[in-house]
Amino acid sequence: MEYYNYIKALHLIFVVTWFAALFYIPRLFIYHIEANDKPSPEREILTNQLKLMTKRLWFIIGWPSAILCTLFALVLLHLNSGLIYQPWMQVKLGFVVALIAYHFKCHQIFKQLQRDEVNYSSRFMRIFNEATSLILFAVVFLVILKSAVNWIYGVVGIFALAILLMLGIRFYKRVREKNPEA
């Protein structure tokens, strides 16, 4: 148990780097999708650069962070197995499963864009990008407050946050339509 806090610190570090990758990769997807609409040779130059940037982010930061974060989390749960019976931890683990599913969806989109298959609009990707924010908010509040009892308030709060994010996306879209340089 003397190493518990070191393992916890490493887990938190890789949570941060994993979220950083998950926040940034959809932005690169958006730029890649929008670059696809550019005329040649600009399109090829941009998409080749974005493919390289995305590949480096995904395989140097995204995947290693996800694996190490998960590994350290499993060690923590093993060392403090009583946590698994806490209602807040069970809810948190549900969000972690959602985050892992999101990660795999990002990987699927990554592979498609590497093959120059554009199956989503940039608008969809902007909305998709906000899922990480919702999961992050939920997990941080659960870990800090350690309460799953007031779950209804959490659900209402997450939906309110989602609505605010959607309104922000719509507002930004209008700003971009009026001023494409924004």
Binding residues: 11, 92
d(CA 147, CA 11): 21
Residue whose entry in the numeric block shows the structure tokens 């009892």? 149
Q: Are 64 and 13 in contact (CB under 8 A)?
A: no
| Annotated binding-site positions for heme | 11, 92
d(CA 167, CA 144): 28
d(CA 72, CA 132): 20
Kindly give, in sequence order, each residue whose CB lies less than 8 Å from that of residue 77, ignoring residues fewer than 6 positions away.
83, 84
Q: For 85, which DSSP code?
A: G
Q: For 126, which DSSP code?
A: H
- CA-nearest of 137, 173, 155 to 23 is 137
CA 131 to chain centre: 7
Q: Are 66 and 110 in contact (CB under 8 A)?
A: no
